[in-house]
Amino acid sequence: MKIVLINPPILGDRVMRDFKKFESMRGIYPPLGLLYIAAVLLDEGHEVRVIDCDAEDDHEAAVRGACTSPSPDAAGFYSFTWNYRQAVRLADLVKTLAPAATTILGGPNATSFPELSLRNGRFDIVVKSEGEETAKELFAALAARKPLDGIRGIAWKEGDRIRETENREFIRDLDSVSFPARHLGRMERYSDVFARDRKFATMIASRGCPFNCTFCDRKNRMGKIWRARTPENVIAEMRKLRDDYGIREVMFFDDNFILNKAWVYDFCGKLKASGLDPLWEIRTRADTVDEGVLRAIRDAGCYRIRFGFESGDNQILMNMKKGITVEQSRECARLCHKIGIEMFGYFILGAPGETEVTMEKTLDLAIKIEPRFALFSKYVPYPSTEAFEWAVANGYIEKNYWIDFLAGRDLDSHPALDQKQLPAAVVEKYMDLANRRFYFRPRYILNTLKAVKSPAQFWRYLRIAASLV
C-alpha cells in the first residue's frame, strides 16, 4: 500500500496560544510515534511517506503533493486532544484530494475518545494506545480487503455505526520494535534550544509509568507497567544515530528513566564501554535519584535531568497524588548540584486546594533549589485524567467540555480550575509573576553566564526566558 503519515501542526495553532512563542523558540522535535509506525510499515513492505507539518515550510502544499499522482491508499494522523482540530482540517484536505484513501487517527485523542474522534472528523478508523502491532495487522487487513473485527485496539465506521474492538495488550518485548524510520523525517530541521550540540535526537528507552499523578494521562496510553528495552538495544540505536546522522546528543523522552536502578547501572556501564561518548539527558522523579546513580549517569555522559517538582507545598503534592515531598525535592536538587548535573524543573500552579500562599511556596522552592530552567504551568484537567474526573465532580468544569471542544466549539485547550479560593485569572497572573521573579534575578543571570558553554547558548537561554515572560 501507498501510505502517508501526517503529524499535524503544533506551532501556530490557536490552541497553543499560551505557549506559542515558547514552543516556537524551543525547537522542533521529531514525531517519534509516527516514525515508529513508519518503520513497522516499511518492514511489512508498504510504501511510506511522513509529513511533519511543523518541519515543513508549507505543510498544506506537502500534503497536497502527497495526495496526487498517484493518490495514497491510506493516510494516518497523530494528534493530541488540543490539536485534534488540526488533524480534522488535514483529513478533510486528504479526503478532498484522494476520496478513496482510508484515513486513520492514532495518538492520545484517539485513545481517549475513539468514537468521538470518528464522529467529529473524516476519519475511517482510529488506533487506540500503542500502535506498532495494531498498525501491522490493520494495514495487512486493508491491503487484503479483509474484515477488521479481528484486530484488537481499533474502532471504525461501518455505515452510520461505530464498531470497536477490545484493547490490545502492551508490547512486552520492546527490543522487537524496529528503530524509528528517521530517514523519513526532516532530520536537518529538528533542534532543541537547550541542546549543547547543534544536532540532537529524541529517544525512548522505556514505556509505561506505575505512578498516579492526577494530572497525567500517560498511564492510559502506555500502561502502568514499566517496560524497558535492553541496554544493548538502546546503545545500538545511539550508535546508528551517530553513524547515520552524526548525532551524539540524545534527549530521552521516557517518563521515568531512573525507575529500575539495576537497569540504569547496567546501561551506564555498557554505554561507557561502547566508546560512543554521547551527551544525553533524561526525565525522572525526585524520589528516584541518589548519589550513586547520579554519579553513574554523569560518568556515562548524562548532563541534564528534567524533574517534575510540581509544588512547594506537601499538601498540594498529596492532592495531586504526586508521591513525593518537598523535602525530597530539596535533597534531589542538593545532590544534583553536588554531582554536577544540570536540572530543569517543572512546576504546576492552580492544583486542587491551591491558594496564593501555596503558589508562593512553589515559587520559593524553585528559587531555592536553582534549576537551570523552570517552567511554570497551570493545572489543566485534561481528558482521561483523574484531574478531569475530580473537576467535573466538584463543578469546576462541564462534563461535556472536551466533547464540545472536539466538536469545534471555541474553547480553551488549556482550561484552568476556577476555584473559589483561587480564581483561574489569579493563576494566570501568578504564572507571569513566577516567570518574572525567577528569571530576572541577578543570581540566576550570573549562574547562567557561568554555566553556558558558548555565547550562542547563553543568548538561546536568555531568549527562551524572555519568551516566557
Is position 172 within any domain?
Answer: no
The pLDDT tens digits for 306-358 are 999 999 999 999 999 999 999 999 999 999 999 999 999 999 999 999 999 99
Q: Judge if 239 and 157 occupy the same domain.
A: no
Assign residue 364 the CATH number of its domain. 3.20.20.70
Rounded Cα gap, residues 154 and 173, in angstroms: 21
Task: List for the chain the helix, strand, coil content (%; round to 5).
Answer: 45, 15, 40
Q: Judge if 335 and 427 occupy the same domain.
A: yes
Rounded Cα gap, residues 74 and 48, in angstroms: 10
Q: Judge if 201 and 311 occupy the same domain.
A: yes
Q: Judge if 240 and 115 occupy the same domain.
A: no
- 405 alpha-carbon distance from chain centroid: 21
Q: Judge if 198 and 156 occupy the same domain.
A: no
Q: Judge if 258 and 147 occupy the same domain.
A: no
Q: What is the DSSP string of 112-177?
A: H-HHHHHHSSS-SEEE-S--HHHHHHHHHHHHHT--STT-TTEEEEETTEEEEPPPPPPPS-GGGS
Helix, strand or coil for residue 87? helix
- On whether the CB atoms of residues 200 and 161 are closer than 8 A, the answer is no
Across the chain, mean pLDDT equals 93
Q: Judge if 147 and 205 occupy the same domain.
A: no
Rounded Cα gap, residues 382 and 388, in angstroms: 6
Predicted local confidence at residue 459, as pLDDT? 73
Strand partners, 378: 349
- On whether the CB atoms of residues 281 and 248 are closer than 8 A, the answer is no
Is position 152 within any domain?
Answer: yes
Predicted local confidence at residue 414, as pLDDT? 87
Q: Judge if 119 and 250 occupy the same domain.
A: no
Q: Judge if 83 and 40 occupy the same domain.
A: yes
Cell of 243: 553513524
Predicted local confidence at residue 14, as pLDDT? 46
Rounded Cα gap, residues 378 and 431, in angstroms: 8
Is position 58 within any domain?
Answer: yes
Q: Which distant-in-sequence residues (6+ apart) come within 8 Å of 38 by Cβ?
A: 5, 48, 50, 180, 181, 184
Is position 180 within any domain?
Answer: no
Strand partners, 201: 250
Is position 95 within any domain?
Answer: yes
Q: Judge if 140 and 198 occupy the same domain.
A: no
Is position 400 within any domain?
Answer: no
Rounded Cα gap, residues 248 and 197, in angstroms: 8
pLDDT exceeds cutoff 70 at 23: no
Is position 388 within any domain?
Answer: no
Predicted local confidence at residue 41, as pLDDT? 98
Cell of 298: 554523569
pLDDT exceeds cutoff 60 at 17: no
Instruction: Supply the range of the domain harboring residue 339.
Output: 192-379+416-468
Lowest mean pLDDT among 94-103, 149-158, 303-312, 406-415: 406-415
The strand ranges marked E within 368-469 are: 373-378
The number of distinct structural domains making up the chain is 2
User: How deeply is 109 buried, as exposed, middle or buried, from its count of CB atoms within 10 A (0-12, 13-18, 19+)?
Assistant: buried
pTM of the entire predicted model: 0.94
Residue 23, CB half-sphere, CA atoms under 13 Å: how many?
Answer: 14
Predicted local confidence at residue 16, as pLDDT? 46
Assign residue 156 the CATH number of its domain. 3.40.50.2300
Phi/psi class of residue 277: alpha, beta or left (left: φ > 0; alpha: ψ in -120 to 50)? left
Residue linked to cell 498511564: 219
Rounded Cα gap, residues 396 and 411, in angstroms: 15
pLDDT exceeds cutoff 80 at 457: no
Q: Judge if 245 and 146 occupy the same domain.
A: no
Q: Judge if 229 and 353 occupy the same domain.
A: yes
The pLDDT tens digits for 251-270 are 999 999 999 999 999 999 99
> Looking at this protein, which amino acid is placed at residue 392?
V
